[in-house]
Chain A
């Protein structure tokens, strides 16, 4: 996908989905991030999950362990902190219920997928959803690939992975586990049985250094070690463990070793602290668990007579040459010896594909056409790390999507919606200063997690996830980039009300006197929508019809006549304590609730309408307070004309009691 930065205000681009928020653009599979954050902000976790699943079949996994390129792009980065997008995805996956799979009509075509990791699961999901018969062949006893056997349970527990895998398999996919391709069945045999074969075996070979002593017992490799951890095997590593490597896997290995009762775990890596490939938060978490990181050391020898006694290393002065090629330079004079009972290599993974019998590149990965992912063997495709080298999980998912699209096109002759992933799109530029000055700064909500000293006792998940309330609050930090106001020019009465209410000057007049919205300056507060007499403005992510449906669902929930609470944020506990029977509809701002919605809800059987307002310091859109006040006055006036004043109540959350009405200035 070609991405260009833009300051455009041309709305047609966004309507086609061609102008992306930076979070969405940076995600390799372009998940509609502003869309699902808007849903979470309103407490609609099911809707959020469906939006995510439209592009990402593994939300529970990605919500926990994705390296989240989306967050680096968040336009809030320049204001305070990026929105916790991954954690919110996890909240959607944990809180929402996975929907029943939407399956297309069955069409002829049988696909074999070799490897049940992220790329294979994604491709299987796509192809099965399109109506093809899909079988997954997996060497290991359970599906998941590196997600299960490479990522320790304290980061990605089995139950979280199984939720996603169950959802994928619910599309009618057959899984054959414990079958090794090349040994139990060959690619040729699969090709004969299936219309297409997709190889997504990943990188299964754990690398080690050929240094003296590397063949000693208690010198381990990362992947077998992590697999043993995943299988719950107990291991005696001794008191002192040295992990060689500076990437995320090294951190996983070190933290896993700590959980196997190693008292002293050291990570020894070639790179300097600044150039370590591991993510900063992974290093931080490792250090908090008592692991020491020794940078710029090049392993030379594993010492000891029969058993491991230590690692002798020399100072590494530089890892890459001027052309960024790997060419370490050592100072052989500066030597350090790290005492160890066990040494684990975590210096990278490589392919283990000799048994497959497919043509390989000079890097020993499977050779494919980069566009359609076909190998030189007819009907055999490859995707994921086996063609791309070690990449992020989300890249493997993208690769799986691409392979599925390619297979589907070759089998049916139809181009498919999956290809829209590759369409060119533009990215929204930075937050304009005028808007930045008016957006409330608000720090990210920190997720509750196990204390470090408790975490190292076992493999329990460390990060405990957001509560629904925390998730909604965090999602409300989203600036709703590209998800803001849309003008239907043909309905516009040119009253200019929108230009008068917009706090960021997003509603503008061009030279001809026509209105347009500056996409960059809009953060979807909905002030203009609420005031537009011609209903010519809509928000991308919410509509009055949606709200109406939600209200109807709430009112249909149970038979008893009850109060309907519209709440911006959360419903105050005082309501529950007061024993009031109510149904709540959470909206991201009370401006979303029009006079019409209130009257409609009353007509449809709500005994009364309660607005629970945020307090000033809490408000996501402070400029909207006046407009909300005005609306409340208007509703009160109209209901009093209809002699129904008692059917409308306004209260603030959470300190005011339900029955105390708040005066509206």
Chain B
């Protein structure tokens, strides 16, 4: 799932300032599951913006909408034509982008897209994948070094590790974790394999068509 979080309020206010009528659009898939873009968050942000605008003597008409998924054209079609002159998207980057290419009006992101992640209990998520296009998880016991290692190195750990902690100090060393899990699975030998440099052109994939193949730039 794509994990998102709401931008600071002043950033959002600055984006929509100058518009007369703004439609807030939530996304009932990843953004809702991230507790940042569901109907509840749309309503909450809408009320907060009304309150802030009123305090600053501004009047922007705000209305709410929630799409099942902002990254599907068919769902966007459900969006009713309205008198709004801008859209504030509470979806991930993909949702903002598709909305922007569809609605013919300025579209602004209310959220920052963080990572592809998994749930770690109530309202906590773990970054798990950076969509690099060349998965190495089979060699790393399911722990992504591109995502979880601060340097994103393919053969670790680096010299910065101390007591299993990354030199940044805010996370465990991904490579130490990889070794420990491989060891617990009885596959510690995999650790000896030197991973070849990745083909970074896969990061540049711009479009993917199952039947035609990809257009790699």
Instruction: Tell me the A residues contacting B by CB distance below 8 Å.
Output: 491, 493-497, 500-501, 531-535, 594-596, 599-600, 602-603, 638, 641-644
Query: Which residues of chain B from 47 to 72 have a CB within 8 Å of any chain A CB?
Result: 47-48, 50-52, 54-55, 66
Residue pair A603, B51 in contact (C-beta under 8 Å): yes
Q: 10 smallest A-B Cβ distances: which pairs?
A: A533-B38, A599-B47, A641-B9, A493-B32, A495-B33, A535-B39, A500-B122, A533-B32, A603-B51, A595-B44
Instruction: Name the distance in Å between A598's Cβ and chain B's nearest Cβ.
Output: 8
Residue pair B47, A534 in contact (C-beta under 8 Å): no
Residue pair B38, A599 in contact (C-beta under 8 Å): no
B41 at the interface (CB under 8 A from A): yes
Most buried by B among A495, A501, A594: A495
Most buried by A among B10, B35, B38: B38
Residues of B within 8 A of A497 (CB): 35, 122-123
Question: Can you name 6 A-B residue pairings with CB atoms under 8 Å?
Answer: A493-B38, A494-B33, A497-B35, A533-B38, A535-B40, A603-B50
A495-B33, A534-B28 given; A603·B47 CB < 8 A: yes
A493-B33, A638-B9 given; A501·B41 CB < 8 A: no
A532-B40, A596-B44, A638-B9 given; A644·B51 CB < 8 A: yes
Instruction: Name the distance in Å between A536's Cβ and chain B's nearest Cβ.
Output: 8
Query: Which residues of chain B from 23 to 41 have a CB within 8 Å of any chain A CB?
Result: 28-29, 32-33, 35-41
The answer for the CA separation of A602 and B38 in the assembled complex, in Å, is 23
Residues of B within 8 A of A595 (CB): 44, 47-48
Residues of A within 8 A of B29 (CB): 493
Q: Which residue of A lies closest to B30 (CB)?
A: A493
Most buried by A among B28, B33, B40, B122: B40
Residue pair A533, B41 in contact (C-beta under 8 Å): yes
Instruction: Name the distance in Å between B123's Cβ and chain A's nearest Cβ.
Output: 7
Query: Which residues of chain B from 137 to 179 have a CB within 8 Å of any chain A CB?
Result: none
Set B35, B41, B51, B119: member contacting A599, Cβ < 8 A:
B51
Set A493, A603, A638, A644: member contacting B28, Cβ < 8 A:
A493
A500-B122, A638-B9 given; A534·B50 CB < 8 A: no
The answer for the CA separation of A5 and B50 in the assembled complex, in Å, is 50
Residue pair A495, B35 in contact (C-beta under 8 Å): yes
Q: Which residue of B lies closest to A640 (CB)?
A: B9
> Size band of the B side of the interface?
20 to 34
Instruction: Name the distance in Å between A64's Cβ and chain B's nearest Cβ.
Output: 44
Q: Which residue of A lies closest to B32 (CB)?
A: A493
Residue pair B9, A500 in contact (C-beta under 8 Å): no
Instruction: Name the distance in Å between B44's Cβ and chain A's nearest Cβ.
Output: 5
Set A491, A500, A596, A644: member contacting B47, Cβ < 8 A:
A596
Residues of A within 8 A of B36 (CB): 533
The answer for the CA separation of A534 and B10 in the assembled complex, in Å, is 25
A500-B121, A533-B33, A641-B9 given; A491·B39 CB < 8 A: yes
B85 at the interface (CB under 8 A from A): no
The answer for the CA separation of A501 and B122 in the assembled complex, in Å, is 7
The answer for the CA separation of A535 and B41 in the assembled complex, in Å, is 10
Residues of A within 8 A of B8 (CB): 641
Q: Which residue of A lies closest to B121 (CB)?
A: A500
The answer for the CA separation of A642 and B53 in the assembled complex, in Å, is 10
A641-B9, A642-B9 given; A594·B40 CB < 8 A: yes
Contact bitstring B58-92, A, C-beta under 8 A = 1, else 0:
00000000100000000000000000000000000
B128 at the interface (CB under 8 A from A): no
Residues of B within 8 A of A491 (CB): 28, 39
Query: Which residues of chain B from 103 to 122 have a CB within 8 Å of any chain A CB?
Result: 119, 121-122
Most buried by B among A493, A501, A641, A643: A493
Instruction: Tell me the B residues contacting A by CB distance below 8 Å.
Output: 8-10, 28-29, 32-33, 35-41, 43-44, 47-48, 50-52, 54-55, 66, 119, 121-123
Most buried by B among A496, A532, A534, A644: A534
Set B28, B33, B44, B66: member contacting A594, Cβ < 8 A:
B44
The answer for the CA separation of A531 and B38 in the assembled complex, in Å, is 11
10 A-B pairs besides A494-B33, A533-B39, A534-B38 with CB distance below 8 A are A493-B28, A533-B41, A594-B40, A596-B43, A599-B44, A599-B50, A603-B47, A638-B48, A642-B9, A644-B51
Instruction: Name the distance in Å between B166's Cβ and chain A's nearest Cβ.
Output: 28
Instruction: Name the distance in Å between A338's Cβ and chain B's nearest Cβ.
Output: 70
Residues of A within 8 A of B10 (CB): 641
Residues of A within 8 A of B54 (CB): 603
Residues of B within 8 A of A531 (CB): 35, 122
Residues of B within 8 A of A493 (CB): 28-29, 32-33, 38
Residue pair B35, A533 in contact (C-beta under 8 Å): yes
A534-B40, A603-B54 given; A642·B35 CB < 8 A: no
Most buried by A among B9, B35, B43, B51: B51
Residues of B within 8 A of A638 (CB): 9, 44, 48
Residue pair B32, A642 in contact (C-beta under 8 Å): no
Residue pair A602, B35 in contact (C-beta under 8 Å): no
The answer for the CA separation of A222 and B66 in the assembled complex, in Å, is 70
Residue pair A596, B32 in contact (C-beta under 8 Å): no
The answer for the CA separation of A603 and B43 in the assembled complex, in Å, is 14
Residue pair A600, B41 in contact (C-beta under 8 Å): no
A493-B33, A599-B48 given; A644·B55 CB < 8 A: yes
Q: Which residue of A lies closest to B119 (CB)?
A: A496
The answer for the CA separation of A493 and B119 in the assembled complex, in Å, is 14
Residues of A within 8 A of B44 (CB): 594-596, 599, 638
Instruction: Name the distance in Å between B109's Cβ and chain A's nearest Cβ.
Output: 17
The answer for the CA separation of A495 and B119 in the assembled complex, in Å, is 9
Residue pair B32, A495 in contact (C-beta under 8 Å): yes
The answer for the CA separation of A497 and B54 in the assembled complex, in Å, is 33
A493-B38, A533-B41 given; A600·B28 CB < 8 A: no
Set B32, B41, B43, B51: member contacting A602, Cβ < 8 A:
B51
The answer for the CA separation of A638 and B49 in the assembled complex, in Å, is 10
Instruction: Name the distance in Å between A541's Cβ and chain B's nearest Cβ.
Output: 20
Instruction: Name the distance in Å between B35's Cβ and chain A's nearest Cβ.
Output: 5
Residues of A within 8 A of B51 (CB): 599, 602-603, 642, 644
Q: Which residue of B lies closest to A647 (CB)?
A: B51
Residues of B within 8 A of A599 (CB): 44, 47-48, 50-51
Residues of A within 8 A of B41 (CB): 533
The answer for the CA separation of A491 and B52 in the assembled complex, in Å, is 29
Instruction: Name the distance in Å between B90's Cβ and chain A's nearest Cβ.
Output: 10
The answer for the CA separation of A643 and B54 in the assembled complex, in Å, is 13
The answer for the CA separation of A500 and B35 in the assembled complex, in Å, is 13
Residues of A within 8 A of B121 (CB): 500
Instruction: Name the distance in Å between B119's Cβ and chain A's nearest Cβ.
Output: 7
The answer for the CA separation of A111 and B44 in the assembled complex, in Å, is 55
Residues of B within 8 A of A532 (CB): 38, 40
The answer for the CA separation of A533 and B32 in the assembled complex, in Å, is 6
Instruction: Name the distance in Å between A594's Cβ and chain B's nearest Cβ.
Output: 7
Residues of B within 8 A of A603 (CB): 47, 50-51, 54
The answer for the CA separation of A500 and B41 in the assembled complex, in Å, is 19
Instruction: Name the distance in Å between A40's Cβ and chain B's nearest Cβ.
Output: 28
Residues of B within 8 A of A594 (CB): 40, 44
The answer for the CA separation of A599 and B53 in the assembled complex, in Å, is 12
The answer for the CA separation of A112 and B198 in the assembled complex, in Å, is 94
The answer for the CA separation of A535 and B32 in the assembled complex, in Å, is 10
